[in-house]
Amino acid sequence: MKLVFTYDYMGRRVRKQVYSYSAGAWNSTPTTDRKFVYDGWNLLLELNGLSSDAVLRKYAWGLDLSGQSGSGQSPDGQAVVHGIHATGGIGGLLAMHDAGTSTNHWYFYNANGDIGQLVDSSSGNFSAKYQYYPYGGEIQAVGAYATTNPFRFGTKFWDAEQQAYYYGYRYHKPKLGRWLSRDPLEESDGLNIQAFVRNSPSGLVDPLGLAADEVACCKFAASGVMPGVYYYMKEVFCTPAVLSADTCCRCASDNTVVSSTYGHCCICTIYRARFKPYTWPDHQSTLVVCPGKSKRIDFLFNKQNAIGITFGEEVVVLPFDPVDLPKWTVQEEIKVDCETGQRIIDQANSDAKNPPDYNFIHDCHWYNREMIGIGKCGYRYLE
């Protein structure tokens, strides 16, 4: 058996031809000729090249694991519709129409976006059931449509001829537990450039065969949630109750642990910044930017006199609008969970009422160095 693939300008496979071997030579006419039509990287149509490109199957897609992330880009950097392509369609295939049998089938998934069941829309009966080993090998594949259905593990297209899944940029062979080719991004996703999702298939996915990504397990509105932040699964399926217990999920952007107090995946960004233009030569502030609450903390003190004595130490907490951040020159930046951000604001408010001594401020004490690792406190001299 010989396989011949044709790819388009984006690297998408648009044709698959299967040739048989007989009488000491390859047959000139393929036994199978499939053509593929896409929306982004999501397959919409399978056409029969041996029958005037007649439609074999149609596919309907909804939100993939990215949900409505707001990222606006697929993993390969292409502009896409939010939440439909950002994880390569994994978990987003809704239904398939088989033109040959005039039947419709609905897809159902596990938490990793692997297809577990197909249901015939007319009868409501299972038309296929699947169970998988961690790397995609099938433990079970039963039902009248189990062999015909091409989408299975990771919502990826199964090539029965080569026993591999087509991910977009590479083919994954479950029996080997690795990719059949090297990573086009070379070592950006790890030193082993043929390892499948860093050898962690139970908690990672790979949208297009380029780089591993976390498994999005759930997303819902909660107080303090930052727009566009995912909630990710560690070991078990993340229900809202599990999320509230802080035992399951973490944030996508910087591995911050979720917060049941200030909102799931609530992140604050702390800046040490200087205002532009510099009204005071030594003017620096600590900017605490949290969802729904942002503050500017200034540490104020008079310039030292001739014998080195400083007067008038003061802490001032001011409102801060994040839209004004471009007016500042950021010198250091770090992300923290919202509990830490709130503790910094609370401590600043307390010190504003009961000013600490000069060394307490100048040495950065609790605000920056110990809590968040920024090297210097924001401060300015009073004029």
Rounded-to-integer distance, Cα 118 and Cα 128, Å: 5
Choice between 376 and 193, residue whose per-residue pLDDT is larger: 193
- Residue 301 bridge partners (DSSP): 381
Where does the pLDDT of residue 68 fall: very low under 50, low under 70, confident under 90, or very high at 90 and above? very low
Choice between 297 and 315, residue whose per-residue pLDDT is larger: 297
Question: Which range, of 38-52, 77-91, 297-311, averages the lowest pLDDT?
Answer: 297-311
Q: Looking at residue 11, what DSSP letter applies?
A: S
128 in Cβ contact with 143 (< 8 Å): yes
Choice between 315 and 133, residue whose per-residue pLDDT is larger: 133
295 in Cβ contact with 330 (< 8 Å): no
Residue 62 has pLDDT above 80, yes or no: yes
180-231 pLDDT per residue, tens: 999 888 887 778 899 998 888 876 788 889 887 754 433 333 333 333 333 3
Question: Which range, of 24-33, 67-76, 193-202, averages the lowest pLDDT?
Answer: 67-76
Query: Residue 135: its pLDDT value, please?
Result: 94
Which residues are CB-contacts of 118 (< 8 A; sequence separation ≥ 6)? 96, 105, 106, 107, 108, 126, 127, 128, 129, 143, 145, 149
Q: Which helix (H) or strand (E) holds 36?
A: strand 32-39
Residue 110 has pLDDT above 80, yes or no: yes
**Annotated domain spans of the chain:** 2-200, 215-265, 267-382
Q: Which residue has the tokens 């007649």?
A: 54
Choice between 170 and 333, residue whose per-residue pLDDT is larger: 170
* Token pair belonging to 115: 């297809």
Rounded-to-integer distance, Cα 12 and Cα 5, Å: 10
Residue 152 has pLDDT above 90, yes or no: yes
Rounded-to-integer distance, Cα 132 and Cα 116, Å: 9
- If you average pLDDT over every residue of the chain, what do you get? 75
Q: Is the dihedral of CA 170, 173, 176, 178 positive or negative?
A: positive
Where does the pLDDT of residue 99 fall: very low under 50, low under 70, confident under 90, or very high at 90 and above? very high
Where does the pLDDT of residue 265 fall: very low under 50, low under 70, confident under 90, or very high at 90 and above? low
Rounded-to-integer distance, Cα 327 and Cα 289, Å: 15
In the chain, the percentage of residues whose pLDDT exceeds 70 is 66
Rounded-to-integer distance, Cα 336 and Cα 372, Å: 7
Residue 170 has pLDDT above 70, yes or no: yes
Query: Residue 173: its pLDDT value, please?
Result: 96
**Taking the CB of residue 52, how many other CB atoms lie within 10 A of it?**
7
Question: DSSP string spanning 327-370?
Answer: GEEEEEEEEEEHHHHHHHHHHHHHHHHSPPPHHHHHT-TIIIII
Closest to 269 (Cα-Cα) out of 253, 249, 250, 284: 253
Where does the pLDDT of residue 356 fall: very low under 50, low under 70, confident under 90, or very high at 90 and above? low
84 in Cβ contact with 61 (< 8 Å): yes
